[in-house]
Amino acid sequence: FFSFSIQMGINKRPKVRDYWRRDDANNNQWFHTMFPRDRFLMLYHSMMHVSTVNSQNKDKIALFIAQAVSQFQKYYYPFQKVAVDEVGVQFKGRSKYIQYNPMKPNKWHLKSYALADSMNGYVWNLIPYFGKDTIYPSQESKLVSENIVKSLVLNLGEGHHIYGGRFYTSVNLVSSMYDDGKIGR
């Protein structure tokens, strides 16, 4: 499989299925004899991708991030002080959700919202930003900032001090989180 993948990098074709085409002028029998197409595609889609075979753009990114976040939360629990903020996740792939900000160290990035441990910067929860297609697990409010904070702290236990900028703070959010038992006096 790996030698086949290396050969694909040397002998580039527009699509993965093109390596098995017999009517092509650049037909190479090595690909036919080395690996059956269906077997290779099954391995390729299960080993090299987190998402389903036909997923596009947002679905590929969201599924990968969801799996990464589940691992973040499985192996670490944050200290008392946590922060909610915007982060730019460097991304070199093609996506319509890439943003450009010349003031950031990673000029081309995927915008995301993160809940991080203030002691060490460990990202414990992450919500990728997809414009109007963004999915917030907690959509109780009409205000996006409230949905962001509530979604990020959804699995967080009690006793944490949550810090955030002006964008992530409102009277409605504080009273709602107090009613939910997420914050105390």
- pLDDT for position 48: 47
**Is residue 52 predicted with pLDDT exceeding 60?**
no
What are 123-175's pLDDT values in tens digits?
999 988 888 878 787 777 778 888 888 889 888 888 888 898 888 888 888 88
Spatial distance between the Cα atoms of 39 and 10, rounded to a whole number of angstroms? 21
Whole-angstrom CA distances from 87 to 10, 104, 127 are: 36, 10, 10
